[in-house]
Amino acid sequence: MYRVPFIVVQDRIKSYPIKVLSFLLVCLFTFSCDSDDVGDTYYTFTGETIGEYVSNRPEIYSEFTQLLEKSKVMGLMKAYGEYTCFIPDNEAMYDFYQSKGKNSLEDFTDEELKKIAYDHIIKGFLYESVNFVDGLLPNVTMSGSYLSMSTSTQDGKLTYEINSSSSITSKDIEVHNGIIHRIDKTFMPTESTLVEVLANDPKFSLFTEALNETGLIEKLVLIRDENYDPGSLMEMDGDINWIGSIIRVPKERRYGFTAFVESNETYAANNINNLDDLKKFASDVYDKMYPDDANITDITDEKNSLNRFIAYHLVNKKLPKRLLIEAYDNTGRDYQSTGESHSIKTTDMCEYIEPMCPNTLIEVRTWRFNNEYNLINMIEETGNAIRLTDDFDNDAVNGVYHEIDNILVYSGDVERMLSSKRLRMDAASFFPEFTNNNIRIGHASPNYISQQWFFTRDYFDRVKPSKTTTFGYYDPDDRFCDYQGDEVLLEGLYDFEIITPPVPPGTYEIRFGYVPNGNRGVAQLFWDGIPTGIPLDLTILANNPQIGYVRPGTDARDPEGFENDKAMRNRGYMKAPACFGTIDPVWFNGGAARGEEGALRRILGIYTFQEATNHTFTVTGVKTGQFMFDYLEFVPLEVIEFEDIY
């Protein structure tokens, strides 16, 4: 049921424009209250739905029609909503029965029938063939599986193959509640784990041998948290909040993993032909990086050089190619059609990934000069970088692996690169749970503006909120002036501690990016347990004399705003960067965030780290309200003097 918390709206009504109030009135008077078991709202409509389309064509789809009816999914396919359905024809269904040793749908359990149906349906998104790209589709099916797409040209005609076995025979069939693609083979998503899929690929046998011998294989077996219980939070799921976003609560807590893997051929090109050769190569790199650990010969020890080498290839997030960085660079509701994104592409974007090798980082970046994504650990002086080959997005039930074109190491050159540049980390990148549960990438749809997620207090490993703290997250919203369009939002009399990714040794100025407004609270911030100055009042906009923001271009004496930058720094603040902005100017001016008084950076202080390690960012609410967390920046002191506005 959709419910609008009108009391909250009354409290905040004066601070939002007519457009939002109009939306709320629409919510109050037009949203229906009937819902199916997956939370969609029914509407009165005319025209052929997905369910009616297949029912009306028994000569092609009678078997899939029976599947929908027996699995009780037919009601969903006749309801209002947006679905992309890949529908096997009758011949494909018959072949499927035979492959499973069955005669008909009668031979499957109710649970199996529902999974088969859900394997073929993507809910909430419309995928026309023009949206298909090689690799995993951005959004999972209703059963939680990714679909792998590959395109090719045969006889001058573009063809589409899914999961390396099923071809689209009729595409882009538009119906009232979605899009249908007819396929010639029923999907059977892999049920194998990442470990099992890798073990069955002889191309990577040496890497798999090392993975097994180091014992790191044991860290890649989890699929889901069987003890997770969303409890009473599920009562909110499907509601509409006061700014017109749909409220979501994750129904499960899945784990995920990524492996960046060199092939046997790549190893051979570097004179590595067996496990002993790989041990020596790893020792040559990591014994220099960690000389105190050079004598550790037990390869199951995380400080051993081979263990570090393999662990640096592994990440506790499931990261298909698109989720390495491209999705965050293109966060716009209608990006596919308009090209509008929160990212203003005047400078390169970087994403920082924490691998399983302790106290290290992997940088994945764009290269605007070459219009390229997914450059790993690029050294700008030489142009050297690791890239994915064409063998990427190899899917497993709990992960994905990509072949890389050269040997990936955390070397002195990589650490120097990371410690000599500004590191900007989106708050959502801290938490693997966002990625592994299909939350971070954004779920923009014409049905709703964005999604506001709520979580149980034990959902995340890296944050422990108090009982008076509500932990939430907005996926990208066109109206927000946020880096990558999203924001972590904690509410109540909040008190929490977040473990940050590791940062290389060095002396850094640390900055906290946020968006102030009248609904925020007042908070004392701590870095590694030490207060970062006086409490931060997140209700104060940048034009307040305490901050002294002047929009660039409005002062003829300081047209670029550089003198104002200095004055703000003296007060402990900075304008937001010019590399992102708002798409839909409902609450902001539009354009770059540097020109917004409602987007700020607070300078937490200057800190020297003697070694690479994780840190704690602690926030204690002084006054009840919201705590909005957008991003952190770590800026080496030598960079500040020459730093750009991006």
Q: pLDDT tens across 422-452, in order?
A: 999 999 999 999 999 989 976 555 566 888 9
pLDDT of 31 over the 70 cut: no
pLDDT of 347 over the 90 cut: yes
Nearest to 527 by CA among 603, 424, 637: 603
User: Is 211 in contact with 199 (CB distance < 8 Å)?
Assistant: no
User: Is 328 in contact with 351 (CB distance < 8 Å)?
Assistant: yes
pLDDT attached to residue 517: 92
User: Is 519 in contact with 617 (CB distance < 8 Å)?
Assistant: no
User: Is 636 in contact with 507 (CB distance < 8 Å)?
Assistant: yes
Q: Which percentage of the chain shows pLDDT scores above 70?
A: 92
pLDDT of 4 over the 50 cut: no
Instruction: Find the range with the poorest average confidence among 17-31, 82-96, 223-237, 350-364.
Output: 17-31
Q: Mean per-residue pLDDT for 353-382?
A: 96
CA dist., res. 155 & res. 170, Å (int): 17
User: Is 438 in contact with 138 (CB distance < 8 Å)?
Assistant: no
pLDDT attached to residue 144: 85
| Measured CA distances, 142 to 84, 121, 171, 572 (Å) | 11, 6, 20, 47
pLDDT digits (tens, 9 = 90+) for 272-304: 999 999 999 999 999 999 999 999 999 999 999
The SS3 call for residue 318 is coil
Which residues are bridge partners to 495 per DSSP? 620
pLDDT of 60 over the 80 cut: yes
Residue 603: band (very low, low, confident or very high) from pLDDT cuts 50, 70, 90? very high
Nearest to 269 by CA among 277, 260, 279, 259: 277
User: Is 635 in contact with 416 (CB distance < 8 Å)?
Assistant: no
pLDDT of 8 over the 70 cut: no
CB proximity list for 15: less than 8 A, separation 6 or greater: 517, 518, 519
Q: Mean per-residue pLDDT for 159-168?
A: 88
Using the structure block, give the residue that is written with the tokens 């730093």.
643
The tally of CA atoms less than 13 A away on the side-chain side of residue 567 is 14
pLDDT attached to residue 466: 92
CA dist., res. 189 & res. 191, Å (int): 6
pLDDT digits (tens, 9 = 90+) for 95-120: 999 999 999 999 999 999 999 999 99
pLDDT of 333 over the 70 cut: yes
pLDDT attached to residue 80: 85
Angle subtended at Cα 172 by Cα 170 and Cα 178, rounded to the nearest 5 degrees: 125
pLDDT attached to residue 448: 67
pLDDT attached to residue 139: 82
Instruction: Find the range with the poorest average confidence among 121-130, 252-261, 514-523.
Output: 121-130
Instruction: Find the range with the poorest average confidence among 171-180, 352-361, 502-511.
Output: 171-180
User: Is 277 in contact with 488 (CB distance < 8 Å)?
Assistant: no
Residue 174: band (very low, low, confident or very high) from pLDDT cuts 50, 70, 90? very high
Q: Mean per-residue pLDDT for 453-468?
A: 94
| DSSP H or E segment with residue 161 | strand 157-162
244 dihedral zone (left: phi>0; alpha: psi -120 to 50; beta): left
Nearest to 511 by CA among 365, 503, 520, 440: 503
CA dist., res. 275 & res. 17, Å (int): 65
Q: Mean per-residue pLDDT for 388-400?
A: 94
CA dist., res. 274 & res. 103, Å (int): 48
Q: Give the DSSP letter string of 218-271.
A: GGG---B-TT---GGGGGGTT-B-TTSPEEE--S--B--EEEEE--HHHHHHTT
Residue 34: band (very low, low, confident or very high) from pLDDT cuts 50, 70, 90? very low
CA dist., res. 204 & res. 224, Å (int): 26
pLDDT attached to residue 524: 96
> Residue 409: phi, psi to the nearest 5?
-140, 155
Going through 89-201 in order, the beta strands assigned E by DSSP cover 121-123, 135-136, 148-154, 157-162, 166-175, 178-183
Which residues are bridge partners to 136 per DSSP? 148
pLDDT digits (tens, 9 = 90+) for 218-273: 999 999 999 999 999 999 998 999 898 989 999 999 999 999 999 999 999 999 99
Residue 599: band (very low, low, confident or very high) from pLDDT cuts 50, 70, 90? very high
pLDDT attached to residue 446: 55
pLDDT attached to residue 445: 56
CA dist., res. 78 & res. 604, Å (int): 54
pLDDT of 45 over the 70 cut: no
Residue 26: band (very low, low, confident or very high) from pLDDT cuts 50, 70, 90? very low
pLDDT of 134 over the 60 cut: yes
pLDDT attached to residue 164: 81
Q: Which percentage of the chain shows pLDDT scores above 90?
A: 77
CA dist., res. 140 & res. 493, Å (int): 36
Alpha carbon 638 to its chain centroid, in Å, reads 32
Mean pLDDT value across the chain = 89
CB proximity list for 562: less than 8 A, separation 6 or greater: none
Residue 497: band (very low, low, confident or very high) from pLDDT cuts 50, 70, 90? very high
Sign of the alpha-carbon torsion through 273, 193, 451, 392: positive
pLDDT attached to residue 283: 98
Which letter does DSSP use for residue 312 in this model? T
Tally: H helices and E strands in the chain: 18, 33
| DSSP H or E segment with residue 306 | helix 305-311
| Measured CA distances, 515 to 151, 448, 539 (Å) | 42, 22, 9
- What's the chain's Rg over C-alpha atoms? 26
